[in-house]
Structure 1
Amino acid sequence: MTADISQTPDADLLQLHKDGDPDAFGELFRRHKDRMWAVALRTTRDPELAADAVQDGFLNAFRRAESFRGDAAVTTWLHRIVVNACLDRLRRIKPTVELGDTDVVETRDHHASVEVRLDIQEALAKLPEGQRMALVLVDMHGMSVAEAASVLDVADGTIKSRCARGRAAMAELLGLP
């Protein structure tokens, strides 16, 4: 371990972690937890889901440090892991329908709304992962093309084309003109 771990570059910290240094990953967490929290919150739009996804993401990174190939920055690798953890958490959410003392029209409208959401989720699940992730980040979570490109570590143009193809496929799957 280096004398001042706070000055060690991220890639070196990850290597130290892989080599068994007990403090190295903690320093990576300290450095990047706030940025990963912001990514998770933008992706999930829910503080509780974001907190769980950040925890999942860092646990996955800790356990799978060997998968880091060094092709990209450690922060990019962490972004991808945290976004995937967010998307996994979002996929697990099942829409709930609470029927209270509402009149029949409101219940019917609510039921139709739930059916539309389920149809959209089903159609999204049929898209290739790249298109699905781009659409979720841009169309559902309001990220800019540049933000989504940064999170997914692809060019802006790639996000634009994935969104365009994904929207066209969604329209076809949903039977829209």
Structure 2
Amino acid sequence: MAGQPNVDLAAQAPRPADGGHPSPASVLAAEIKALVAEGDRDAARDRFGALVALLQRRALRIAFQYLRDAADADEAVQDAFVKVFLHIEQYRSDLPFDVWFTRILVNAALDRLKARARQQRWISHSTDEDNGRPVEQVPGHEASHERRLLAKERWDQVTRAVATLPDRQRLVFTLCHLDERTPAEISAATGMSQATVRVHLFRALRKLRGVLGGHV
């Protein structure tokens, strides 16, 4: 753009601490950050579209594991992508973008879960006051509805317990059990040693079992 300093995108490419090759998402994020710094937001938005296309399927899978609702998962993913674009200048190009994005995504999913819990408490309170029955509880379907409700409540307990984990334990747990990555893959993505990854995973599972009575 005229009047704007030229930014060398190659110079902005992330350089992993372990000397390995940066992920495609990290390369794209570094390019977007450079374009934003240059003031070329139109080009940054174009590249961001490519980043969304690259990560959206994985992001939806992780968000759905937390929320167990496709619409809520989609909203959480959209929230996460908006936050990424608005705060892309805070991304450290020497670190894996996938890890930074996963943290933002998990926080967006947990925020959505908290909002849903508040809404459910309000609905429950309103129903109790009216001495009524929720519309969807048709007598012939009460048993199956109750089973689904119990399963959902159980998963909500797990998700709330995950939210109490320290940041690194929550990240490792998410990457391992929700994103289905191996300790070696998590090590490569985060820069932690495999031994450290296993320690964080062990501590996360131990804490979750303590909170949930051993049912993890």
Smaller-chain TM-score bracket: 0.5 to 0.7
Shift of 1:51: 4.6
Aligned to 1:84: 103
Alignment length, in residue pairs?
A: 169
Aligned to 1:65: 88
Aligned to 1:14: 33
For 1:153, which of 174, 190, 197 is the aligned residue? 190
Aligned to 2:130: none
Q: Any gaps of 5 or more consecutive residues in structure 2?
A: 3-7, 11-27, 121-133
Q: How does 1:86-165 map to 2 (within 5 A)?
A: 86-91=105-110, 92-93=112-113, 94=116, 99-102=137-140, 109-110=147-148, 112-139=150-177, 141=178, 143-145=180-182, 149=186, 153-155=190-192, 157=194, 158-165=196-203
1: distance between equivalents of 2:209 and 2:78?
Answer: 35
| Runs of 4+ with deviation above 6 angstroms | none
Secondary structure at the aligned position of 2:139 is classed as coil
Does the CA-based 8 Å contact 1:145-1:160 persist in structure 2?
no
Shift of 1:48: 4.7
Does the CA-based 8 Å contact 2:80-2:108 persist in structure 1?
no
Aligned to 1:56: 79
Does the CA-based 8 Å contact 2:63-2:105 persist in structure 1?
yes
1:117 counterpart letter in structure 2: W
2:162 counterpart letter in structure 1: L
Does the CA-based 8 Å contact 2:173-2:201 persist in structure 1?
yes
2: distance between equivalents of 1:60 and 1:136?
Answer: 19
1:19-49 CA distance string (max 9 Å, x none)? 3123331243143222211331331247655
For 1:44, which of 63, 85, 99 is the aligned residue? 63
Shift of 1:83: 2.2
2: distance between equivalents of 1:51 and 1:41?
Answer: 6
Does the CA-based 8 Å contact 2:60-2:77 persist in structure 1?
no
2: distance between equivalents of 1:87 and 1:71?
Answer: 21
1:38 counterpart letter in structure 2: R
Does the CA-based 8 Å contact 1:50-1:86 persist in structure 2?
no
1:27-78 CA distance string (max 9 Å, x none)? 4314322221133133124765565444333322332233133322xxx32x
1:166 counterpart letter in structure 2: A
- CA RMSD for the aligned pairs? 3.9
1:126-148 CA distance string (max 9 Å, x none)? 22122223323433x35122597
Aligned to 1:174: 212
Does the CA-based 8 Å contact 2:59-2:77 persist in structure 1?
yes
1: distance between equivalents of 2:88 and 2:141?
Answer: 55
Does the CA-based 8 Å contact 2:169-2:203 persist in structure 1?
yes
Q: Any gaps of 5 or more consecutive residues in structure 1?
A: none
TM-score by length of 2: 0.58
Does the CA-based 8 Å contact 2:59-2:105 persist in structure 1?
yes
